[in-house]
Structure 1
């Protein structure tokens, strides 16, 4: 297998500054408004509940906007990501926001070796799992990081969404990519990114994997965690299907026609037994 880590890291290093400067991430608002939260964290605010005083780690934190948001809700946060360029932006955003967060560079599978102690909260946000070849190995890593009684909180793009044919222009919602995890990655060469930017990207090839809902839940259960919540949503926090979606409240997007036919995202929660 091609070194997917180096390939994907180069892609995310390339994206980091462009994302931090894009209006879609609203980075300046973290410095200007002490109460500002990212759209992703705000969407799940009620599901998160009270996180005050919890020791939390945000896996695959990218430029840290969700990490800063969780810190503002009272959690003692650490952010972990494999992209050094992303963590440079994350540290800058946290400093401007007045948030004390430790950012650690590591591949998510090596998180147990890179981080000290156990955590009350392991948080993973949108667009993270598709960069990992094995969801079982991810779940085992999560379980190793959690303290007894600790909680996993995951909001992710739905595997049905990831499997769609994005090139169709006839309005038909059709599956074209694997729904289930495959040994070999899906290889993409896309010059742009998911936010508004005029940045010219030089590292456009990525290797990605889909993970079905059943595979993800089974991996979590096999890792010894107890599932406490699974909710599918009819919206996603970016324009996932350009030309076929409309913007709704809270920075979310959904299909313009019959959004009820597509699971856009999901929120999953699990706990480590005491």
Structure 2
């Protein structure tokens, strides 16, 4: 996929960073394996010295500076994790165009690599909605790179149009007028090209994650994906997967309240 714009922060060579930087917040631009520049933020643990870094993957139309993303990062830092957040390609200050979950695996890979280069012995990933599908595929495709995985409000399969919000999202992604709305209304730059080939689906990825601990979190009032999605993901994970169905919760990071974020942070740290 092509890269449309450069990130607005200084690009760093992550291999030059050492564990001394784990005490300091940092904002940098990373470069993915396919050359896209990705904005990223490192927030040290607020609770204790820990070897765990949580890499947080936001949902479609999110970014590193969205309030819900920053709120989740603070919550995880308060539970003892250092946190890496980043904007997917086509989002926020990152370059490139959104492929809505396909090449975003490379963005997550760059963020995980940075967490390791900062000296963290243990790295957990957590993703919301589109980010949830990305953390599942990343853990399957890059086995051994992470120590725990949590997917919140993630789809189980591609091309789902069974709810009104998902039909609207497909219009945004697939139609020229929708992509204009995405660019100027949602501040998300979307690649016009269809997937070729179609990436591994989340439910196909899940069996490849074991023995890494896997947590599936979903709200029973999610307007995008009904409960057959998390149940399918958990079933595909077998004994390695844990399922939390959250009463009253809607969709993704915007719907995650303080109590859920605290529990999720404890799981990611203790995994």
Name the TM-score class by shorter chain. Answer: 0.3 to 0.5
TM-score by length of 2: 0.41
TM-score by length of 1: 0.41
